[in-house]
Structure 1
Amino acid sequence: MHNFSAREKYLISNTLNCLPIILQGRAVLIDLQNETSVAGIISIADGHMTCELTAAVFIDRNGQCHAFDNFMIRNRMIRLLHVPADLDIRHELSQLQRKPTNRTRTKTKRTFKQKRAEERHKETLETIKTQRDGDKPKET
């Protein structure tokens, strides 16, 4: 398993940059920005969507095929990543959901803006509550 940086972990858990990682070891078709395509098996993928394919076939604009043992695609060149039909992508994405960590917050002093925002939030909640209570018919 690849050791991901903190930035890559964030991108994997919060964006669709996780797709190449989910598809590692599977045959895929990737359309590139320059109107070409690459088909092959994703062997290595990182959190920035940079992919390395093995047993790759490069299909140029004219439809000619060129075989490569290894082919690397940078993230900015990817236009479309075709997900295989037999893959349950909803299930795979739910498996990658980020699990909350039990980090303790350090005691930091709140700024004036934070205090004021919290006070206004409390005031707003109280006015909503009193308006709701005022709309209810009184019991006799």
Structure 2
Amino acid sequence: MHNFSAREKYLISNTLNCLPVILQGRAVLIDLRNETSVAGIISIADGHMTCELTDAVFIDRNGQYHAFDHFMIRNRMIRLLHLPPDLDIGHELAQLHRKPARRAKTNAKRTFKQKRAEERHKETLESIKSQRKADQPKEDLSQLGKN
């Protein structure tokens, strides 16, 4: 795994910059800001969302395909990152944001930034759970009464 700087660790833990890191080794489609797209396998991603893709296919504005062995995308160029449908993003985020092992109690208080980051993380996980519940098919109520 890549050694991340302190700033990158912060960005991965507190923003959606964690998505390319989670998707390393998987095939993705990335839409770029200049109306083009790149499909390939993310081989390296850093905390700033800079991605290196292998076996990449560049799709230009005219719909023509251009193959590349290696393709680098800077963070500023990314407009949209398409997530694979089989990815369980809630589980991946929970794995990424595991709490560290318990240490001996100290009198140090959590900072405002730490509290806000934890609250936002919890809100994100809750919204993913509620979205999943809304996406599940509803049971036919007429069938429930017959049993």
Does TM, scored on the shorter chain, surpass 0.5?
yes
- What is the SS of the residue equivalent to 2:17? helix
Say which is worse superposed, 34-43 or 92-101, in terms of deviation: 92-101
Taking structure 1 as reference, are residues 105 and 66 closer, same or farther at Cα in structure 2, changes over 3 Å only? farther
Q: 1:77-97, CA deviations, whole angstroms, 9 ceiling, x for partnerless residues?
A: 000000000010111011111
Fraction of identical pairs, as percent: 86
Name the count of aligned residue pairs: 106
- Alignment RMSD, CA only? 1.6
Letter in 2 for 1:56: A
Deviation at 1:99, TM superposition (A): 2.4
**Alpha-carbon distance in structure 1 between the residues aligned to 2:60 and 2:107:** 53
Q: How does 1:9-20 map to 2 (within 5 A)?
A: 9-20=9-20
- What is the SS of the residue equivalent to 1:7? helix
1:43 matched to which residue of 2? Answer: 43
Which aligned runs of 4 or more in structure 1 are off by greater than 2 angstroms?
Answer: 98-106
**Alpha-carbon distance in structure 1 between the residues aligned to 2:6 and 2:107:** 19
- What is the SS of the residue equivalent to 1:93? helix
**Alpha-carbon distance in structure 1 between the residues aligned to 2:15 and 2:29:** 20
Taking structure 1 as reference, are residues 98 and 14 closer, same or farther at Cα in structure 2, changes over 3 Å only? farther
Letter in 2 for 1:82: H
2:81 matched to which residue of 1? Answer: 81
TM-score calculated relative to the size of structure 1: 0.71
- Is the radius of gyration larger for structure 1 or structure 2? 1
